[in-house]
Amino acid sequence: MSDRPGRVPALQQVPPDVVCLPDYAAHARERLDDNAWAYLAGAAADEITLRANRAAWDNLALVPRVLRRLTGGHTRVELLGRTLAHPLLLAPVAYQRLAHPDGELASAHAAAAQGAGFILSAQASTSMEDVARAVLPEAERGPLWFQLYMQHDRGFTRELVQRAEAAGYEAIVLTVDAPSHGVRDRERRAQLKLPEGVSAVNLARLPPAPRTQIDRTQSWVFDALMPDAPTWDEIDTLRSHTNLPLLLKGVMHPEDAREARRQQVAGLIVSNHGGRTLDTAAPTAWVLPRIADAVGDAMPLLVDGGIQRGTDVLKALALGARAVLIGRPYMHALATCGAIGVAHVLRVLRDELEVAMALCGCRTVADAGPQLFFEAP
Amino acid sequence: MSDRPGRVPALQQVPPDVVCLPDYAAHARERLDDNAWAYLAGAAADEITLRANRAAWDNLALVPRVLRRLTGGHTRVELLGRTLAHPLLLAPVAYQRLAHPDGELASAHAAAAQGAGFILSAQASTSMEDVARAVLPEAERGPLWFQLYMQHDRGFTRELVQRAEAAGYEAIVLTVDAPSHGVRDRERRAQLKLPEGVSAVNLARLPPAPRTQIDRTQSWVFDALMPDAPTWDEIDTLRSHTNLPLLLKGVMHPEDAREARRQQVAGLIVSNHGGRTLDTAAPTAWVLPRIADAVGDAMPLLVDGGIQRGTDVLKALALGARAVLIGRPYMHALATCGAIGVAHVLRVLRDELEVAMALCGCRTVADAGPQLFFEAP
Amino acid sequence: MSDRPGRVPALQQVPPDVVCLPDYAAHARERLDDNAWAYLAGAAADEITLRANRAAWDNLALVPRVLRRLTGGHTRVELLGRTLAHPLLLAPVAYQRLAHPDGELASAHAAAAQGAGFILSAQASTSMEDVARAVLPEAERGPLWFQLYMQHDRGFTRELVQRAEAAGYEAIVLTVDAPSHGVRDRERRAQLKLPEGVSAVNLARLPPAPRTQIDRTQSWVFDALMPDAPTWDEIDTLRSHTNLPLLLKGVMHPEDAREARRQQVAGLIVSNHGGRTLDTAAPTAWVLPRIADAVGDAMPLLVDGGIQRGTDVLKALALGARAVLIGRPYMHALATCGAIGVAHVLRVLRDELEVAMALCGCRTVADAGPQLFFEAP
Amino acid sequence: MSDRPGRVPALQQVPPDVVCLPDYAAHARERLDDNAWAYLAGAAADEITLRANRAAWDNLALVPRVLRRLTGGHTRVELLGRTLAHPLLLAPVAYQRLAHPDGELASAHAAAAQGAGFILSAQASTSMEDVARAVLPEAERGPLWFQLYMQHDRGFTRELVQRAEAAGYEAIVLTVDAPSHGVRDRERRAQLKLPEGVSAVNLARLPPAPRTQIDRTQSWVFDALMPDAPTWDEIDTLRSHTNLPLLLKGVMHPEDAREARRQQVAGLIVSNHGGRTLDTAAPTAWVLPRIADAVGDAMPLLVDGGIQRGTDVLKALALGARAVLIGRPYMHALATCGAIGVAHVLRVLRDELEVAMALCGCRTVADAGPQLFFEAP
């Protein structure tokens, strides 16, 4: 990171005053320039959804249980045919070398060490093959998935999927909530530029998009961007390119969840992209139970958006999620002290989940349900 | 503006840190004296409605849609017999030369260039004929409307309407929510005075109001002001003076909307005057759907009050508006960098609207409806 | 006020930056020592009711009306057999010479000049006879009432009532919500002491309370204070001492209002003592419509608590009040510039009320009702 | 306290600006080092429940009553066969010598002097026998109870219970909501260490816990901690060791309350441990009426969590509590000025309760019920 003078260098260990995920933010801020901070911490427009995501978890009131026999309890979950030690995954985040020179390798190592899932972003700043090689073999780590944006060049998109499968990724996560880049004003104010040496290396060979000609009466969004956006009728084709299970990330409407069930996708990630695409989108904690109602047990549901406490994880499970993704908190830890920070975040979150389960009388995640919540009269 | 020393002069271009409408406020503040700022930014009394207008849009939570085919979508709307490229209009704002020496001409040019509607205030500081001449011909611009207060001299009021028609204005907007000046305490504290050279030039020949004599037992409002205020039984007469369609601005009660329908006015603008007349008036985002329920499709509804984001526009359309007006944001842009700022505001808002539509799965504005909102259980 | 060095002296005119009631608070603060400020501005305990009173008025959203014929409208109300120009009264406030050397005389003069009611506190720092003499004759002023606490000495209480009647007061207001002094922590922290020359002169001849002996197992409140507190069965007796109408101030519960109706008292003042007795008492804007429901038109209802805007007054009338009392705002004006400030406060509030009525389409106070409010769905 | 240099020493009297419980916090903060402050003032995680506990009491709006005959009223309650002068108890708080050198002796003396209950923490820094001896005889003081955590060594736990009985304690309070230490991040950030000379003296002879071996696939919470946690089937056994009544502290779920009733425990303390165990646990003011509904009058209910005003106590009684516990406020008073502060806190709270009762028309606690609250429509 010597190429970014003036910054406080990353640490080699967890700072002594960091005891929970939110504690990392201030440390990360010190270590990131305005550019990287705007990218990692910002969200769309007025960042209302960013704050609402957090508040929605906080506002769910739990009712503790007492004196239950919980010996031998555990946090294990079944997901896509594997039994995981706990329901935590690292969300796909682009350009992790913005945060720390070790970038995605650090995050993937930490996830592997903690038995957490890792979802590599299509816009990773590290080669997908390098990441996969670094964390094998599968039996000793959590799931390794590859996140995909449908690229304007569908042939290249197919290659990406097949490279991912060949490299050992176990699932494809198609992000469907960002057909256009969100209106991320904080980034735009900071005039985000990737520093030298940080780029989307896995997309390096993507042919440049043909320059769409639009006239004054046409719309950049509808006439230039949307023709490249993925649609429901491409899901089958995408699946035909690979034996890997396909999950959709960014499903928020029950009708879309039902369509996904009809198309028999392998799972859904209820997400508003951490508030980074559509500001004032409903918080995921409100949406999750509606999606669970809509599709029942047909496929596993995952969720992200503001999760940073063990109680948040327990609430997500109680509302119908099989597992959760965290994003900003691990990026803040990565910026602060690299892989050791990311591993610490996962360890703390898992410990907090266990404590929350114990205090709510849950021996296993199957015990988490709507009865955990205080219902206002 | 050399006549107001000590102010930061207006810029010739959009400041680099301005990426959305709210960003203009700080720049405008720097460039306006306390007097002009109090007039442009202030509202009635404790400014509760000013804040509530904004909060009401923010608090409507959207539910994104995914994977819909949106190619060829657009923002076009039909309004008073014309097809507009998008549903954005500049609200009537008085004395725009307070904000920038180019005043209404700058705003009208910017609107024309962006295909937006422009509603000239009766209290404009530029001649209505000059504005109309500057932006013709009609085919290459958005709608050009004239806003009217019923003047104490009804003959002069008739002349105004007929001048507007002759000059090429396409509709008359009668403001009905301000029979008396609002209680605008911020203005009164700043002791607002129009600077030399800024005046309501189109009202220059208005005969002075006869000095109403009221005794101690009488009321200034009820005995001096109200006799000059317009009433329902004058709407027909007003319409008889012109071939232009007549819209009413400031309708907030369903019963008033129904009366307007009975009187077959051409359209309604749901408005609380941006919070500038009656403080604690309900926010327009709450009122709009009630008005839409009351009058159905009998006439187009427009709305203003706190709109500053593409998501706000989309929400207004989903709640029943055909088009929206913006006020303060374009005045802040005008103060910051003149016509180029106003044009930028319109371009940004339209882009944000397109992004919001795409993320909510709306190909056209007809796709916007109540199903976009997350309904609390 | 030369006896309180270091204070900014009271002004001879309304400060130029004061345009509404809330503007007076900062000016008053400058002119009062901590002692007097704690007494006048403070309330019970954590001052939750003080803030809730204000917030409850603010949170009632109005729906404006348009184009109604309002000529000849007015703010007149009937109250205890008189027709008043408007529904504003000055609430009883003790020790007004704490705020300004002219004390109650200034307030009473201002009320008389503005046709407002004046309710002299039993703890006034000016003789009740002096006040009455100063503002006569009745025809040229608003109502003049005398507020009463039931004193431990019932004979003295009877004398007070009879002195008030003899002096020309038109009604007795028995305060029933303060059988014990409230827990006014701000005052207690400031260790409130009345300055030299400020005292409850009308109670000067009240015999000292016999020293109640209570043992360790007894309660100061229940065994020493409560035996002196007034009870329902004393209302009749109190009334028998005078021909004046008797109102009760501090009624908040519908059951108490019904009992008052059974006892045929002349009127009720819905009040939580401005938050000065029981903290977390419900705001009066919530309670008023319940009281109105409970007792219908059997007697006039008045209300106080946080009223400082014309819209607040209109809302109170719409919720069932015949008239309203203001307290702190006029004391702040008194401290700032004496009688002229108090008169200004009344004039501004009446003007604001007229504007609010006009904007809500009310020609008279009889037009104010529940239909003025936006009802959340 | 000379062993903690740099701190402001404790006072010998109540500071003159302290008139209510919340006033003590600032004084305590001055007198405690960061370490002790984090322990005494902090709570779990983001301290949401800590704040929610307070807010829930504040948000219950009371409706005052007037003119009722209240002479001879009192605050007496029946509890476990005794008649208490008032319903106030000091909650069990560990390590009180962190706050003041006199520690638990000061608190117990103050409680005795004020007729309040005292619940000695199992983790007291003073010997349980010393405390009991200091406050005897029973007739002249409030209840003296012993709080118990189920220790990993059940034999030692039995000894503790029997020592408490022998020493004169009148009841055993088993804390059931903290089978594991809460996630108290403020403490962990301050890296809490007990100073020299402060320790859990009553647990000095507790044999060290056998070091549980857990492998990587096991859970510290479920496999190491939970096997030592108490369960419902141990309640009977625990009771068999003593003739003292057994109360459970930390019951929040109606189902758990019903189980407690089936097991015929002597009473329940509705508590979320002051927000110190499970953050985002529902506030006790929300939970209490549900518990009261669930178990009716089968056993006395007590409650704690944020109580610091007489109105809070009255609300708790109205929602079904027989008595209340206070925690932080008395610890702040202890830190400020020792026993005299704790006694002052109890006296003030009792006075405030009497005033609140009088203003709400309650002659005895039996008059407190749901009719005290303003019910939103």
What SS3 string covers A340-376? Answer: HHHHHHHHHHHHHHHHHHHHCCCCCHHHCCHHHECCC
Taking 70 as the threshold, does the pLDDT of residue C182 lie above it? no
CB contact under 8 Å between D219 and A74, yes or no, is yes
- B302 or B10, which is more confident? B302
For C340, residues 6+ apart whose C-beta sits below 8 A from its C-beta are: C12, C13, C14, C110
Tell me what pLDDT residue B9 has. 87
Burial class (CB in 10 A: 0-12, 13-18, 19+), C206: middle
Q: Which residues of A touch B351 (CB under 8 A)?
A: 220-221
Q: Which residues of D touch A65 (CB under 8 A)?
A: 252-253, 255-256
Q: Can you tell me which residue has the tokens 């139970």? A: A289
Tell me what pLDDT residue D6 has. 42
Please report which confidence band the pLDDT of residue D233 belongs to, taking 50, 70 and 90 as the band edges: very high
Give me the active site residues of B, please.
273
Enter the ipTM. Answer: 0.96
Does residue D314 contact residue D81 with C-beta atoms inside 8 Å? no
Does residue A240 contact residue A165 with C-beta atoms inside 8 Å? no
CB contact under 8 Å between A188 and B19, yes or no, is yes
CB contact under 8 Å between A250 and B71, yes or no, is no
**Between chain B and chain C, how many beta carbons pairs sit less than 8 Å apart?**
125
Domain A21-193+226-370 superfamily per CATH: Aldolase class I (3.20.20.70)
Distance in angstroms (rounded) separating the CA atoms of residues A327 and C356: 51
Per-residue tokens: B43: 């509202």
As a whole number, mean pLDDT of residues B59-75 equals 97
Distance in angstroms (rounded) separating the CA atoms of residues A160 and A167: 10
**Between chain A and chain D, how many beta carbons pairs sit less than 8 Å apart?**
127
Question: pLDDT, tens digit, for every residue of D27-86?
Answer: 999 999 998 999 999 999 999 999 999 999 999 999 999 999 999 999 999 999 999 999
Q: What is the CA radius of gyration of chain C?
A: 20
As a whole number, mean pLDDT of residues A229-239 equals 96
Does residue A246 contact residue A236 with C-beta atoms inside 8 Å? no
Q: Which residues of B touch C351 (CB under 8 A)?
A: 220-221
Taking 70 as the threshold, does the pLDDT of residue D183 lie above it? no
Tell me what pLDDT residue A181 has. 59
Give me the active site residues of A, please.
273
Distance in angstroms (rounded) separating the CA atoms of residues C12 and C340: 8
Minimal Cα–Cα distance from B357 to chain A, Å? 9
As a whole number, mean pLDDT of residues B347-354 equals 97
Q: Do chains C and A touch (3 or more CB pairs under 8 A)?
A: no
Does residue C97 contact residue C125 with C-beta atoms inside 8 Å? yes
Peptide bond between residue A137 and the one before it cis (omega within 30 degrees of 0):
yes
3-class secondary structure, C22: helix
Query: How many C-beta atoms lie closer than 10 Å to residue B266's C-beta?
Result: 19
Taking 50 as the threshold, does the pLDDT of residue A133 lie above it? yes
Per-residue tokens: A180: 């256009």
- Read off the DSSP letter of residue B104: H
Distance in angstroms (rounded) separating the CA atoms of residues A155 and A173: 18
Question: pLDDT, tens digit, for every residue of B17-33?
Answer: 999 999 999 999 999 99
Minimal Cα–Cα distance from A353 to chain D, Å? 10
Please report which confidence band the pLDDT of residue A216 belongs to, taking 50, 70 and 90 as the band edges: confident
Minimal Cα–Cα distance from B364 to chain A, Å? 10
Q: Can you tell me which residue has the tokens 């919980």? A: A70
Taking 50 as the threshold, does the pLDDT of residue D1 lie above it? no
As a whole number, mean pLDDT of residues B206-234 equals 88
Most confident stretch, C42-56, C189-203, C205-219:
C42-56
**D123 and chain A in contact, CB less than 8 A:** no
Q: What is the identity of the amino acid at C75?
A: T
Distance in angstroms (rounded) separating the CA atoms of residues A303 and A30: 29
CB contact under 8 Å between D221 and A72, yes or no, is no
- Read off the DSSP letter of residue C311: H
Q: Which residues of A touch D250 (CB under 8 A)?
A: 64, 66
Taking 90 as the threshold, does the pLDDT of residue B253 lie above it? yes
Side-chain half-sphere CA neighbours of B141 within 13 A:
27
Between strands A77-79 and A82-84, the pairing is: antiparallel
Distance in angstroms (rounded) separating the CA atoms of residues D98 and C43: 35
Reference B76, options B301, B362, B305; nearest CA is: B362
Q: Which chains touch D (3 or more CB pairs under 8 A)?
A: A, C
Taking 50 as the threshold, does the pLDDT of residue C2 lie above it? no
Taking 50 as the threshold, does the pLDDT of residue A2 lie above it? no
As a whole number, mean pLDDT of residues D317-337 equals 98
Tell which B residues from 313 to 372 touch C, by Cβ distance under 8 Å: none
Domain boundaries, chain A: 21-193+226-370
Taking 50 as the threshold, does the pLDDT of residue C230 lie above it? yes
Tell me what pLDDT residue A67 has. 97
Please provide the size of chain C in residues: 377
As a whole number, mean pLDDT of residues D275-302 equals 96
CB contact under 8 Å between C183 and D310, yes or no, is yes
Taking 60 as the threshold, does the pLDDT of residue D4 lie above it? no
Q: Which chains touch B (3 or more CB pairs under 8 A)?
A: A, C
CB contact under 8 Å between A19 and D188, yes or no, is yes
Distance in angstroms (rounded) separating the CA atoms of residues B253 and B177: 11
As a whole number, mean pLDDT of residues B152-161 equals 96
- Read off the DSSP letter of residue A305: S
Nearest CA in chain C to D76: C217
Tell which B residues from 156 to 215 touch C, by Cβ distance under 8 Å: 176-177, 179-180, 182-183, 185, 188-189, 191
Reference C40, options C1, C97, C107; nearest CA is: C97
Minimal Cα–Cα distance from D188 to chain A, Å? 7
**D310 and chain C in contact, CB less than 8 A:** yes
CB contact under 8 Å between C256 and D66, yes or no, is yes
Of C179, C223, C278, the CB nearest to D62: C278
Beta strands in chain C (DSSP E): 77-79, 82-84, 88-90, 117-120, 144-148, 171-175, 246-249, 267-270, 301-303, 323-326
Of D191, D278, D283, the CB nearest to A359: D278
Tell me what pLDDT residue A262 has. 97
pLDDT > 90 in chain B, percent:
85
Does residue D164 contact residue D244 with C-beta atoms inside 8 Å? yes
Of C20, C65, C359, the CB nearest to B277: C359
Q: Which residues of C touch D362 (CB under 8 A)?
A: none
Does residue A95 contact residue A200 with C-beta atoms inside 8 Å? yes
As a whole number, mean pLDDT of residues A165-191 equals 86
Taking 60 as the threshold, does the pLDDT of residue A55 lie above it? yes
Q: What element of type H or E holds A190?
A: helix A185-190
Beta strands in A215-328 (DSSP E): 246-249, 267-270, 301-303, 323-326
Side-chain half-sphere CA neighbours of B58 within 13 A:
15
Does residue A290 contact residue A303 with C-beta atoms inside 8 Å? no
- What is the average pLDDT value for chain A, to the nearest integer? 94
Nearest CA in chain B to A177: B66
Tell me what pLDDT residue D3 has. 42
Does residue D308 contact residue D77 with C-beta atoms inside 8 Å? no
Beta strands in A185-335 (DSSP E): 246-249, 267-270, 301-303, 323-326
